[in-house]
A and B are shown apart, each in its own frame.
Chain A
Amino acid sequence: MNDFVNNIKKVMLVFLILFIALISYITYLYMFKSETAVASSYNQRLWAERNKVLRGTIYDKDMTALTKSTRISQTSQKLQYYQGAAFAHTIGYMDPRYGLSGLEKKYDAELMDDGDSSLSKFAFFSKDNEEKVGKGLRTTLDSELQKKAYNLLGNHRGSIVAMNPKTGEILAMVSKPSYDPNYLSRDWKSVNSNKDMPLLNRAVSGLYPPGSTFKTITAASALKNIPNVYNSSINDNGSLVVNGTRLLGDFQGESFGNIGFKSAYMHSSNVFFGSLGLDLGNKELKNTAEAFYFNKHTPTIGLTIENSVFPSYKSNEKGNIAQSAIGQAGVLVTPMEMALVASTVANDGIMMQPMLVKEILSSKGKSLEKLQPKQLGQVMTKENATTMKSLMRSVVSGGTGKGAALSNILVSGKTGTADHVEASKQEAPHAWFTGFAPYDDPQIAIAVIVEEGGQGGQLAATITRELIRTYLK
């Protein structure tokens, strides 16, 4: 052991190098890896931070609570959704694993905001044990109507949107199939892999061919662009033929003979509106559609609406131009868009901004901010809107929409039976109904789509009728 001191020095040197290497490695981790580590989905710190505040409550328009969060432990809480599946898409969910959706996502900042000033972040100096609760939201939803709409759709896939045409307040918004957000983590696998996509909010994100309900827009465009179109008529022999090519035909081989504007709308003549589309041309029809917020973002309070699509066609694509005028070809709409169209007609041509939230409340329930209805613009003139209103009234009183008629309320509307292309087989068409009531002083505008529901004048029209009956009783 002659070199003892030397050996000790060498061993110390080795350990010194190891310690320095370790510190260097940690420094390297900190400089280059820490951001991805903190941002990783395994980092639950953000949720733990969020859980310091008990989430605010969402109410319906009559201040009945739709959600309520309760404390489980210091770092966790349970959000209960009192109405379960019927309100699932509209309210959305909050889950540490699956994130946020719906209103919970849109108004996350408010629902998490306990309204404390930043000074009280040093809260550990003051020991008040009062639970911090986020702000509340008062929605525009009518719980009774929402539940009715949910039940009326039954086991069909589809969607219903009901709104107040004068204010744009959403009264009900249903998408089916649905899921129960109370059991999200239990059901996630099956819900997420289901081919019917229960997680999709069809009301604002489902894109469907509008079928004949689109004729409302075509009619509005014609009234605006073609002088005296209301008194024009054509000979409808069941199919529209241009230069020897059959572009489209009437529903189930019907033919209406000599038909005018009003009865073409009442009875949903494809030939009439197809040729109207050709007369208007793609550009004019597209302009009108875009005035109704096709192809662009629709401003909202509390919603995210998928853009409805009206395509551009070259002037020689006659088939597509004619088809697009009856809501086929490449035209795709959300149920929300069609509800907006109906409510614009009902509201003298003024489109209102759709709103789902009308008031922000303090955690104690005091009103902090009232959200005001806002006009999105005069989409058509008042005269044309009045004309369209009477046309829609005639559909229910004597046309394809008789199924929506009520004895004591004047219902107006437009049916749609939209063909859709499924890769595998020929499915039944989607059934549409868009309408409003009462005729003289519209209180409610509705769009209903039942996927593969057949003719619009049947199931979709009766659902609309029942909803109006419930709302206006």
Chain B
Amino acid sequence: MESLKEERKLLRYTYLLCIVLFLNMYFIGKDSFDNGALIMGAVICLIFAYSHFIIRRFFPDGDKYILLFSNVLAVIGLGMLYRLNSPNALKQLIMYAIGIAIFILVVVLFPSLIKFGKYKYFYMICTIILMALGSLLAKPTYGARNWISIAGFTFQPSEFAKLSLVAYLAAALQNYGRDTQGKSEIIKAKALIEPGIVVMVSLGFMVIQKDLGSALLFFAISITMVYIATSNFKYVLLCLGLFIIGGFISYKLYGHVRVRFMTWSDPWKYATSGGNQVVQSLISIASGHLFGTGVGLGYPKLVPVVDSDFIFAAICEEMGLLMGFAMLILYFLLFYRCMRVPVYSKDNFTRLLAVGYSTMIAAQVLVIVGGVVGAIPLTGITLPLVSYGGSSMIITFFSLGILQKISEDGQSYE
């Protein structure tokens, strides 16, 4: 029961964080004290208390920290969003509630996930369709063609494509080397040709849709899953080589790729055009220093698209660089807990699925935070659990639900 005590402690600190954050928001309300902030904080507390109660009470075997860490991150994100744009924060709160609901439903309703390993071609078709959807239907936003609108509801198909791509790769790679035990490498490698083609097609679509962040993300997920499935480092090198060649070709072929690289190489030179976002984000991060200006006292709104892609800059400015570091450490801890899940799992499909979803979250953090601080070319993807964006929130909680489910199944075998 040592674990339960630790969980309770962490849970209490999360309440404290939530209360302090929204009390702050209550005081800095524009014209009068902001009662909305108090209500919002209370609702968030209720939601994560409820979710933790359900998981604790009815599913005691799985990993509790996945939910705990995600909730801490979501609280930070909702707090910052409320400060930046309270109507958006309300929408995000609804998405958070839906996300939590999906998380619980996945854990409660899904049968053992091992059975899902059979539907390889279904995942493949889903992946291809979702990847292509952006090219067919999307209207460009922020230069990228990755948002589509159906019945007044806008979402990014590539977000959902992530889920099916991971499922497809897990299904395709689960039997790698089983029937070809002891045979030559070339015969083994044949099993990788089909997944390879699917991944390349997906990456191609992403480049055409100017969604380079997702392309990078898919690549990171695929390469990790291939390595885990094959234990063969050569494939990693091969993939890296192909990726560099592909990157070089798209650099030559597409202006938007070149622009991204140019502004990355010296954002200050392009500060009035393409580099504006990164320059403003760097200024914002630098203005906060280690401890931040205090929530509500900085000027994060001077950074473009600050509530989604650049929310990390806003958090660094107002809550301090140390909060930024703490968030990165939290993300790594979340990744660590997620990567522990497949260790206890016995089935290859669920193992690979867990690895894929864990990598998805960690790689997304690296790509967007790296872009926001100018370490790598900027690509517009969301910071999972924190950025404003419904599809991202739902996708992340869905994958966390799958991980929770796998962890549940894995633990109950023992």
Q: Give A residues with C-beta under 8 Å from B.
A: 1-8, 10-12, 15-16, 18-19, 22-23, 25-26, 29-30, 33-35, 37-38, 40, 42-45, 48-49, 75, 124-125, 127, 129
8 A Cβ contacts from B202-235 to A: 224, 227-229, 231
B331 at the interface (CB under 8 A from A): yes
Q: How far is the CB of B384 from chain A (nearest CB, A)?
A: 14
B283 at the interface (CB under 8 A from A): yes
Contact in complex: A40, B375 (CB < 8 Å):
no
The 8 closest A-B pairs by CB, nearest first: A34-B286, A37-B286, A43-B283, A45-B299, A19-B332, A25-B375, A48-B299, A124-B28
Contact in complex: B228, A15 (CB < 8 Å):
no
Contact in complex: B285, A7 (CB < 8 Å):
no
- Bound-state CA distance A42–B289 (Å) is 18
Interface centre among B276, B351, B375 (most CB of A within 10 A): B375
- Bound-state CA distance A43–B286 (Å) is 10
B342 at the interface (CB under 8 A from A): yes
Main secondary structure of the interface of A (DSSP, over half): helix
Contact in complex: B282, A4 (CB < 8 Å):
no
Chain A residues positioned under 8 Å from B238 (CB to CB): none
Q: Contact partner of B283 among A23, A45, A75, A124, CB < 8 A?
A: A45
- Bound-state CA distance A12–B335 (Å) is 8
8 A Cβ contacts from B347-386 to A: 348, 351, 355, 359, 362, 366, 369-370, 373-375
Q: Contact partner of A125 among B27, B227, B299, B373, CB < 8 A?
A: B27
Chain B residues positioned under 8 Å from A30 (CB to CB): 285-286, 289-290, 321
Contact in complex: B328, A22 (CB < 8 Å):
yes
Contact in complex: B33, A1 (CB < 8 Å):
no
- Bound-state CA distance A1–B279 (Å) is 45
Chain B residues positioned under 8 Å from A3 (CB to CB): 231
Contact in complex: B351, A1 (CB < 8 Å):
yes
A22-B375, A48-B299 are contacts. A11–B283 as well, Cβ < 8 Å?
no
- Bound-state CA distance A38–B293 (Å) is 13
Tally of A-B residue pairs with Cβ under 8 A? 119
Chain A residues positioned under 8 Å from B331 (CB to CB): 19
Closest to A49 in B: B299
A42-B271, A44-B302, A45-B287 are contacts. A37–B282 as well, Cβ < 8 Å?
yes
- 27 A–B contacts from the bound complex (CB under 8 Å): A1-B228, A1-B229, A1-B351, A7-B227, A8-B343, A11-B359, A12-B335, A15-B335, A15-B359, A15-B362, A19-B366, A23-B328, A25-B370, A25-B373, A26-B321, A29-B282, A29-B286, A29-B373, A34-B286, A37-B279, A37-B282, A38-B283, A40-B279, A42-B276, A43-B283, A45-B283, A127-B32
Chain B residues positioned under 8 Å from A42 (CB to CB): 271-272, 276, 279-280, 283
Closest to B345 in A: A4
Interface centre among B290, B331, B369 (most CB of A within 10 A): B369
- Bound-state CA distance A45–B286 (Å) is 12
Contact in complex: B366, A11 (CB < 8 Å):
no
Chain A residues positioned under 8 Å from B279 (CB to CB): 37, 40, 42
Q: How far is the CB of B347 from chain A (nearest CB, A)?
A: 10
Q: How far is the CB of A14 from chain B (nearest CB, A)?
A: 8
Interface centre among A6, A45, A48, A75 (most CB of B within 10 A): A45
B116 at the interface (CB under 8 A from A): no
Contact in complex: A12, B271 (CB < 8 Å):
no
- Bound-state CA distance A12–B341 (Å) is 13
Q: Contact partner of A4 among B28, B228, B272, CB < 8 A?
A: B228
- Bound-state CA distance A15–B365 (Å) is 11
Contact in complex: A29, B285 (CB < 8 Å):
yes
Q: How far is the CB of B266 from chain A (nearest CB, A)?
A: 13
- Bound-state CA distance A457–B171 (Å) is 100
B192 at the interface (CB under 8 A from A): no
Q: How far is the CB of A7 from chain B (nearest CB, A)?
A: 5
Chain A residues positioned under 8 Å from B185 (CB to CB): none
- Bound-state CA distance A33–B412 (Å) is 51
A42-B279, A45-B283, A124-B28 are known; give 5 further A-B pairs, CB within 8 A.
Answer: A15-B362, A19-B331, A34-B289, A40-B283, A42-B272
Contact in complex: B268, A40 (CB < 8 Å):
yes
Contact in complex: B33, A127 (CB < 8 Å):
yes
Chain A residues positioned under 8 Å from B27 (CB to CB): 124-125
Contact in complex: B228, A11 (CB < 8 Å):
yes
- Bound-state CA distance A30–B287 (Å) is 10
Closest to B231 in A: A3
Chain B residues positioned under 8 Å from A7 (CB to CB): 227-228, 231
B179 at the interface (CB under 8 A from A): no
B2 at the interface (CB under 8 A from A): no
Contact in complex: B302, A33 (CB < 8 Å):
no
A1-B229, A29-B373, A42-B279 are contacts. A48–B366 as well, Cβ < 8 Å?
no
- Bound-state CA distance A19–B298 (Å) is 27
Contact in complex: B286, A33 (CB < 8 Å):
yes
Per-residue contact bits, chain B 269-313, to A (CB 8 Å; 1 contact, 0 not):
001100010011011011101100000101101100000000000
- Bound-state CA distance A77–B282 (Å) is 26
Per-residue contact bits, chain B 27-39, to A (CB 8 Å; 1 contact, 0 not):
1110111000000
Contact in complex: B342, A127 (CB < 8 Å):
no
- Bound-state CA distance A34–B285 (Å) is 8
- Bound-state CA distance A19–B359 (Å) is 13
Q: How far is the CB of A5 from chain B (nearest CB, A)?
A: 6
Q: Contact partner of B31 among A12, A15, A34, A127, CB < 8 A?
A: A127
Contact in complex: A48, B302 (CB < 8 Å):
yes
- Bound-state CA distance A146–B359 (Å) is 72
B324 at the interface (CB under 8 A from A): yes
- Bound-state CA distance A1–B175 (Å) is 9
- Bound-state CA distance A8–B329 (Å) is 19
B339 at the interface (CB under 8 A from A): yes
Closest to B373 in A: A26
- Bound-state CA distance A44–B279 (Å) is 12
- Bound-state CA distance A38–B289 (Å) is 10
Chain A residues positioned under 8 Å from B268 (CB to CB): 40
Contact in complex: B328, A11 (CB < 8 Å):
no
Chain B residues positioned under 8 Å from A34 (CB to CB): 285-286, 289
Contact in complex: A124, B296 (CB < 8 Å):
yes
B117 at the interface (CB under 8 A from A): no
Contact in complex: B321, A11 (CB < 8 Å):
no
- Bound-state CA distance A38–B290 (Å) is 14
B13 at the interface (CB under 8 A from A): no
Contact in complex: A38, B287 (CB < 8 Å):
yes
Closest to A1 in B: B348
- Bound-state CA distance A124–B342 (Å) is 50
